[in-house]
Chain A
Amino acid sequence: MSDSINLKLKIWRQRNHKEAGHFEMYDMPGVSTHMSFLEMMDVLNDRLIREGKDPVAFDHDCREGICGMCSMYINGRAHGPLKGTTTCQLHMRHFSDGETVTIEPWRAAAFPVIKDLVVDRTSFDKIIAAGGYISVNTGNATDANSLPVEKAKSDEAFDAAACIGCGACVATCKNASGMLFLSAKVSHLALLPQGEPERRERVLRMIDAHDESGLGACTNTGACEAECPKEISISHIARLNREYLRAGMTGE
């Protein structure tokens, strides 16, 4: 395999959330296949700056797949073609010579575009603020081993807690639903004995916050699970539904 490929990039440009956006084409010759996708974007931006043009704005931070900041829709797929991979962990060896790569921001009414590929995801923070926690003030805790937790449940809670809050689920869903994100947190806390006391209130409040933020309803297409870079299982949405039903039936 050659160590270098030539690409065309078709990138969404939008000055701010008020102005309309459009696609622009950029030639990218000689892209090293060892580069990460974002490093390729760095190379493009370096060139644009030298040419006196406006570089492409995109969100990124840790570049090791854990902070959840990067958020590109690549060739019609959230975070690009590779399963279980964030944009920052995607490398150019997965693209072929001569290919045109289309790059868009997350598209959802609840995620307005700030500039180019950068969107506003504060609706996710609001969902967590509504109940994605266990109410325990600093200093309240008892000894960590005073409450054993079944390993299988603890492991499953971890699987849910691995969500990085990137919003790929919303971007992928035709309804722009944030249910996979929401269910991951509900599931994480519902599986642990520590989460038990607030189990009912939590799910009701978080679902309200989700709906208020303009995120859509879930129709079980499963697209979110397929595109989630952390491979969060859709079974958490099933648990969310059970929790919601249970909360409704046990209400005052």
Chain B
Amino acid sequence: MASSPKLNSHIPEGPMESKWTHHKSTVRLVSPANKRRLDVIVVGTGLAGASAAASLAELGYNVKAFCFQDSPRRAHSIAAQGGINAAKNYQNDGDSVYRLFYDTVKGGDYRAREANVYRLAEVSASIIDQCVAQGVPFAREYGGLLDNRSFGGVQVSRTFYARGQTGQQLLLGAYSALERQVAKGAVTMYSRHEMVELVMVDGKARGIIARNLVTGELERHFGHAVLICSGGYGNVFYLSTNAMGSNVTAAWKAHKKGAFFGNPCFTQIHPTCIPVSGDYQSKLTLMSESLRNDGRVWVPKAVGDKRKPEEISDEERDYYLERRYPAFGNLVPRDVASRAAKQACDEGRGVGPSGLAVYLDFRDAIKRLGHHVISARYGNLFEMYEKITGEDPYQTPMRIYPAVHYTMGGLWVDYNLMTTVPGLYALGEANFSDHGANRLGASALMQGLADGYFVIPYTLGEYLADDIRTPAIPTNHPAFDEAEKSVRDRIEKLMSIKGKQTVEDLHKRLGRIIWDYCGMSRTAEGLTKALAMVQELKNEFWTDVRIPGDVNEFNPELDKAGRVADFIELGELMIRDALMRNESCGGHFREESQTEDGEAKRDDENFAFVAAWEYTGTEPVLHKEELNFEVVHLTQRSYK
């Protein structure tokens, strides 16, 4: 298989361990005097966006940063609980850059690009240094040095954490660096703004149309380069652990302007979330995977056993992860744990009122370590669980069920994080590059910050070095006129429908289709059916949606309508991608492709590629980037 001529990953030559060092030393530079004349737009202020905006402003670029929330500090990175990986080997347990690289490639079920992953592992240690210097209060030992814990899918302790609020502390670190640049005038911050169109001039990304969500006004912003750092698209499922506002719109607009979309069907279903309690449910809450360090997962051995958990003796319990995967036990990767939970529930052994839950039990850990140790490790998570469910996990096991959590797919990028549109970049969860078909725990924070702090500051120069003589393009350029008009027309169309169904109705139905047919388990038959259903839903949306209020006012329903319209189109692409990929890998489980004992079966001969989809307005066109594994040998993943 050869890669599509439209995809050049620009992977540097040379041995894996020196690619990044060599690349860093040879990419073109932009002098400080010229950086002052260059404008960079950053869309999104989560870990990737805030760290990129701050770092680029420190270098001297003029940065404009956008977020839809009322403050950049609220981006959904803030909700990440468990931790951040780094190959520091502070624990002397044999960790190394190579091992972090290897675990990530293997954990991703060999569908990630080796060179990007190696670089990620390489810069991981610097991230911890940077964050500590910013004052991020990571957990420490009594000697004053940093503490670590282990996470799913690995056999070393390389995860740095700040109680169960690691994402919050890292984001506040990046946010403080960002605000420091705002005060210096190097970053202009646009809160309550949403990117609604990408502006292209002569085939290059040159700006965006942003909507002021308070006034409804459309604004034109020029940039020599545009960075999409807008996170993942888990809310296509309606119910997910994402924030209510998390959306695909910025990435989708970029896609429709020529940025290929990579592996859209690779979504992560996280095994430990609080189960759904009713049809009013608006979102799902994650319980950090770190809980699996001390909690034991089980269901009753007998089908339909409705007794209280305390009444079920050890002999009558099936600790199915420990039984099926003795080497990793409760710490198998997320995709494996989620599928196993689904299987147990499908067999009729699920617990709780809906039967769609399994137990995560801390009884033995509390006995072994004491209440105070468990409370120090997970206190805030236990409290959160109790607030939501009204049950005390110190007394009775938690009930958990898998939920959509993260999307490995995203805009296709090359080694420099540039999409197929010149001057348009994608960072963090918004790109596809590092996690393959399954992300390991505590690696999302690592990747967001790696891209923003340590990759884009180097690689952006490679492109902008050619732009030092390009003056800012005035925003009365016809390209801005045209982009703004298309946005205005679309909003008017949306408002004029005045149908019967609310945006929420349609979003819920979309979510149900994607969850049922493009969720934890997928078949050609189901996907084909789902494709027709989503197409039908799209028609309904554009003929029957009801949006209250006016265009030129604070109107969250209108904001949401635009996002759901984009989710519907993305949903269709996800289904097509899942249908095309007739193999099981990572979070993508095709029932047609499994081993005799029900484990996922990859097909490296036919599917060792990144699927990069080109938008055409009609049928999307598939381009393949061949994945060459120079260092890691492809093997069937086993955690037994």
How many angstroms between the C-alpha atoms of A245 and B281 in the bound complex? 50
Q: Is A6 in contact with chain B by the CB < 8 A criterion?
A: no
A127-152: which have CB < 8 Å to B?
128-130, 132-145, 147-151
How many angstroms between the C-alpha atoms of A82 and B245 in the bound complex? 25
Do B69 and A69 touch across chains, with their CB atoms under 8 A apart? yes
A51-67: which have CB < 8 Å to B?
52-55, 57, 59-67
Q: Is B99 in contact with chain A by the CB < 8 A criterion?
A: no
Q: How many residues of A contact B (CB 8 A)?
A: 80
**Given A91-B390, A151-B142, A141 and B130 contact (CB-CB distance below 8 Å):** yes
Do B70 and A39 touch across chains, with their CB atoms under 8 A apart? no
Q: Is B282 in contact with chain A by the CB < 8 A criterion?
A: yes
Q: Is A13 in contact with chain B by the CB < 8 A criterion?
A: no
Do B282 and A128 touch across chains, with their CB atoms under 8 A apart? no
What 1/0 mask marks residues of chain B from 123 to 141 whose CB sits below 8 Å from any chain A CB? 0001011111111011011
Chain A residues near B453: list those with CB within 8 A.
Answer: 138
Do B556 and A121 touch across chains, with their CB atoms under 8 A apart? no
Mark the stretch among A97-105, A112-120, A214-222 that contacts chain B: A112-120
Do B71 and A124 touch across chains, with their CB atoms under 8 A apart? yes
Interface centre among A34, A133, A151 (most CB of B within 10 A): A133
Q: Is A161 in contact with chain B by the CB < 8 A criterion?
A: yes
**Given A57-B554, A122-B191, A138-B54, A132 and B502 contact (CB-CB distance below 8 Å):** no
Mark the stretch among B108-116, B168-176, B317-325, B522-530 that contacts chain A: B168-176
Chain B residues near A48: list those with CB within 8 A.
Answer: 548
Mark the stretch among B1-9, B30-38, B177-185, B626-634 that contacts chain A: B177-185
Chain A residues near B280: list those with CB within 8 A.
Answer: 32, 35, 39-40, 42-43
Do B70 and A120 touch across chains, with their CB atoms under 8 A apart? yes
| Closest CB in chain B relative to A26 CB, distance in Å | 16
Q: Is A49 in contact with chain B by the CB < 8 A criterion?
A: yes
Residue of A whose beta carbon sits closest to that of B164: A66
Do B78 and A62 touch across chains, with their CB atoms under 8 A apart? yes
**Given A53-B548, A67-B79, A133-B177, A138 and B51 contact (CB-CB distance below 8 Å):** yes
**Given A46-B502, A67-B76, A134 and B134 contact (CB-CB distance below 8 Å):** yes
How many angstroms between the C-alpha atoms of A57 and B191 in the bound complex? 17
Do A194 and B133 touch across chains, with their CB atoms under 8 A apart? yes
Chain A residues near B128: list those with CB within 8 A.
Answer: 144
Residue of A whose beta carbon sits closest to that of B80: A66
> Which DSSP category, helix, strand, loop or mixed, fits chain A's interface?
loop
Residue of A whose beta carbon sits closest to that of B88: A144
**Given A57-B556, A134-B135, A145 and B90 contact (CB-CB distance below 8 Å):** yes
Q: Is A233 in contact with chain B by the CB < 8 A criterion?
A: no
Chain A residues near B177: list those with CB within 8 A.
Answer: 133, 136, 138
**Given A16-B554, A49-B502, A62-B78, A129 and B183 contact (CB-CB distance below 8 Å):** yes
| Closest CB in chain B relative to A241 CB, distance in Å | 21
Do A144 and B282 touch across chains, with their CB atoms under 8 A apart? no
Closest 4 interchain pairs by CB?
A: A148-B144, A133-B176, A141-B133, A141-B129
What 11 new A-B contacts, CB under 8 Å, besides A49-B548, A66-B167, A114-B214? A39-B282, A61-B243, A91-B388, A93-B390, A138-B58, A138-B453, A151-B141, A157-B137, A161-B137, A161-B169, A162-B168
Q: List 27 A-B contacts (CB under 8 A).
A: A32-B278, A39-B282, A57-B556, A66-B167, A66-B168, A67-B69, A82-B387, A89-B387, A115-B553, A125-B72, A125-B73, A125-B191, A128-B179, A130-B183, A138-B55, A138-B58, A141-B133, A142-B129, A143-B129, A147-B132, A148-B140, A148-B143, A148-B145, A154-B138, A157-B135, A161-B135, A192-B135
